Amino acid sequence: MNRQRLQVFYAGWVQGVGFRYTVSRLARGYEVTGVVRNLADGRVELVAEGDRAELDAFRQAIRDSEVGHGIRQEEARWTEAENEFRGFEIVR
C-alpha cells in the first residue's frame, strides 16, 4: 500500500461548531490516522495518513458532513506518509 500524508487547512466557520469532533468521528469510518487541531488564526488543521483513495473519501465526507457548509476555504498539501500516528485524535 502506498501511504500518503494529507495536510489540510480549513478556513471559515470551523471553530466552536464541533468541527474537530465531527472530523474525529468521521475518521473512525476510514482507514486513516492523524490529528485535527484548532489554530490561533481561526483555521483548523487536519493531518491524516493512509491510502490516497481513503484520504480522498475521508476529505469528501468532511465536506459532505453537517459542518462542511462552514468551510469557506480549503488548502491541501500531499506528501509521503511519515507514519507518526497510531490512531486519530483531536489535539488541543
Q: Which residues are identified as catalytic?
A: 20, 38
Within 8 A by CB and 6+ apart from 79, the residues are: 4, 5, 7
In Å, the largest CA–CA distance within the chain is 36
Least Cα distance to 68 among 17, 27, 31, 34 occurs for 17
Within 8 A by CB and 6+ apart from 74, the residues are: 8, 9, 10, 11, 63
